[in-house]
Structure formats: C-alpha cells, structure tokens
Structure 1
Amino acid sequence: MNKRLTKISKYLSFVLSHHPEAVGLTLDSEGWIDVEELVVAAVESGKTMTVQNVMDVIAQSERKRFELSDDGKRIRALQEAS
C-alpha cells in the first residue's frame, strides 16, 4: 500500500475504531457506517479522500482492518486480535 493509502487507513482506523464523533458520525450498534457518509464527513473535516480511496484501502490492506457489508455500501472496523 502506498503512503497515501496508508495515511487514509490510519485515519479510517481512528474514526471507525475510536472516535467517530470527531467527524460528527455515529456508528450503528454493530459498528457500521455508510461509506459515502464517511467520505463526506472526512472531506468536510478537511481530509482529501474518495470512496475509491476507501475501497483501495480495503482491497490492499494486508491486515484486514476493515470490513465491507455484503452490498458494499457500509464499512466497519474489525477488532484486531491481541
């Protein structure tokens, strides 16, 4: 994964695993959020990111930190094994 996607991956981990409220988001009870809603919130908070960037992070991540819903419209962070 290139540096840009690594930076986006870290940002996604921060938001989805720890602080969704930092960008005005609320995850559902199972930790899911709409991908487009996530991208809009990120852009509004000053980040440069697209839905395609998010998809690229998911596809290229060796650690599989994120999961897409079956319809590909929602994302959540996966719990890392200790």
Structure 2
Amino acid sequence: MIVSGKVPRKLGIPWEDEYLGMGVTSCATCDGPLFAGKKVAVIEGGNSALDAAIQMTKIAAWVYLINVNPVLRGDAVMREKVEGAPMLPS
C-alpha cells in the first residue's frame, strides 16, 4: 500500500497507474483495512502522511514511512506522535 497524502499526488513511478486501487492508494482511512496484517509504506512527511502512518500502525503488520526530505515536514505534535508510534522503523 502506498498512501501519498490528503491531496492525491502521483509518485511518477512506472507501475503506479497499473496498480492504482490494487495496492497503490491515497486514502488510509478508506483503504487501510484492506491491508490489515500486511507491510505498508506511507510516502511523504507532511501532516496528512504522518496521520496516515499513525492510522496504519493500528491496522498493518509493519509501517514504513518514506520521506524524500531529511526531516519530516509535519507539525511538531504529529512528528512526536509518529516518533512514539509502534511499528515504525527508524
């Protein structure tokens, strides 16, 4: 599963359109339960992505948070929640 934030943005990877709705999604709230017990990746480091990562820790077996920037862009409160959340690799 790939969750790209509140406003769906394409990642620009070759297979993204092919797997849209079949593993690639933009809504952890809507599609998260489909990935119960699986390993998932949340892409980006803004508030929406951090919220999705936190949501997925309650559903998925493992959550990878992939951020292209050296630091997370989300608010301090959201960053603290993510850093304290279980199942997020460092």
Task: Answer whether TM exceeds 0.5 for this pair.
Answer: no
TM-score by length of 1: 0.26
Bigger RCO (CA 8 Å, 6+ sep)? 1
TM-score by length of 2: 0.25
Task: State which structure, 1 or 2, has the greater radius of gyration over its C-alpha atoms.
Answer: 2
